[in-house]
A and B are shown apart, each in its own frame.
Chain A
Amino acid sequence: MQAEKGGKLVNLSKSDLKALENFVSQLGINISSIATNLKKLEIENGKYNDIFDIPIQLEIIVNSLESIYTTGFYLGYIKNNKFYPGLTLLRRISRLCNEINCIKLNKKGEKQFLYGKIVKNNIISFKEGLRVILNENDEPIGWGIGKVINRKKEIKIVEPVKDLGWYLRRGG
Chain B
Amino acid sequence: MGINLNESEKENKIFSYEISNEAKSLAEKYGYSDYIVERYIKLLGEEVIDLLEFNEIPMPQTIRCNDFLVSCDELEKRLKNKGIKIQKIPFLPHGYEIIESPYNVGATHEYLMGYYYLQDPGSMLVVYLMNPLKNSFIIDMASAPGGKASQILQLTKDSVKLVSVELKKARIKALRSNLQRMGFSSYIILETDARKLSLKNSDMILLDSPSSGEGIIRKDPKRKSSRPRSDMRKIHLLQYQLLNKAIDIVKPGGEITYAACSTAIEEGEFVIDRVLNKRNVDTIKVDSPIGDKAYEEFNGIVFDDRVKNCIRLWPHKHGTEGFFICKLRKEEN
Assess the B186–A68 pair: CB atoms within 8 A.
no
Assess the A88–B186 pair: CB atoms within 8 A.
no
Assess the A68–B190 pair: CB atoms within 8 A.
yes
Query: Interface digits, A53-91 against B, CB 8 Å rule (1 contact, 0 not)?
Result: 101011001101111111111100000000000111001
Stretch touching chain B among A14-22, A96-104, A124-132, A161-169:
A161-169
Assess the A68–B109 pair: CB atoms within 8 A.
no
> Within 8 Å of chain A (Cβ to Cβ): is B131?
no
A136 to chain B: closest CB distance in Å? 11
Assess the A65–B177 pair: CB atoms within 8 A.
no
Which of A67, A74, A114 makes the CB contact (< 8 A) with B112?
A114
Residues of B within 8 A of A65 (CB): 188, 190, 198-199
Which of B161, B177, B180, B192 makes the CB contact (< 8 A) with A58?
B161
Residues of B within 8 A of A68 (CB): 188-190
For A59, give the chain B residue with the smallest CB separation: B161
Assess the B189–A71 pair: CB atoms within 8 A.
yes
Chain B interface residue number, banded: 20 to 34
Are A164 and B113 also in contact (CB < 8 A) when A61-B188, A73-B185, A172-B173 are? Answer: yes
A74 to chain B: closest CB distance in Å? 6
Query: Interface digits, B196-211 against A, CB 8 Å rule (1 contact, 0 not)?
Result: 0011000000000000
Assess the A69–B191 pair: CB atoms within 8 A.
yes
Query: Interface digits, B94-136 against A, CB 8 Å rule (1 contact, 0 not)?
Result: 0000000000001101001100000000000000000000010
Query: Interface digits, B25-47 against A, CB 8 Å rule (1 contact, 0 not)?
Result: 00000000000000000000000
> Within 8 Å of chain A (Cβ to Cβ): is B172?
yes
Residues of A within 8 A of B324 (CB): none
Assess the A61–B137 pair: CB atoms within 8 A.
yes
A111 to chain B: closest CB distance in Å? 8
Residues of A within 8 A of B176 (CB): 2, 69-70, 172
Are A71 and B187 also in contact (CB < 8 A) when A87-B180, A165-B112 are? Answer: yes
A139 to chain B: closest CB distance in Å? 6
CA gap between A110 and B108 in the complex, in Å: 12
For B176, give the chain A residue with the smallest CB separation: A70
> Within 8 Å of chain B (Cβ to Cβ): is A6?
yes
> Within 8 Å of chain A (Cβ to Cβ): is B174?
yes
> Within 8 Å of chain B (Cβ to Cβ): is A28?
no
Assess the B177–A72 pair: CB atoms within 8 A.
no
CA gap between A62 and B333 in the complex, in Å: 27
Which residues of B, 160-195, contact A by the 8 Å Cβ criterion? 161, 163, 172-174, 176-178, 180-181, 183, 185-192
- Find the residue from A6, A65, A68, A167 having the highest chain B CB count within 10 A: A167
A112 to chain B: closest CB distance in Å? 13
CA gap between A13 and B198 in the complex, in Å: 30
Assess the A55–B186 pair: CB atoms within 8 A.
yes
Assess the B112–A58 pair: CB atoms within 8 A.
no
The 9 closest A-B pairs by CB, nearest first: A172-B173, A171-B177, A73-B185, A164-B112, A71-B188, A69-B189, A172-B174, A69-B191, A70-B189
Q: Give the B-binding residues of A (Cβ under 8 A).
A: 2, 5-6, 53, 55, 57-58, 61-62, 64-74, 86-88, 91, 110, 114, 135, 139, 141, 164-165, 167-168, 171-172
Q: Give the A-binding residues of B (Cβ under 8 A).
A: 106-107, 109, 112-113, 135, 137, 159, 161, 163, 172-174, 176-178, 180-181, 183, 185-192, 198-199
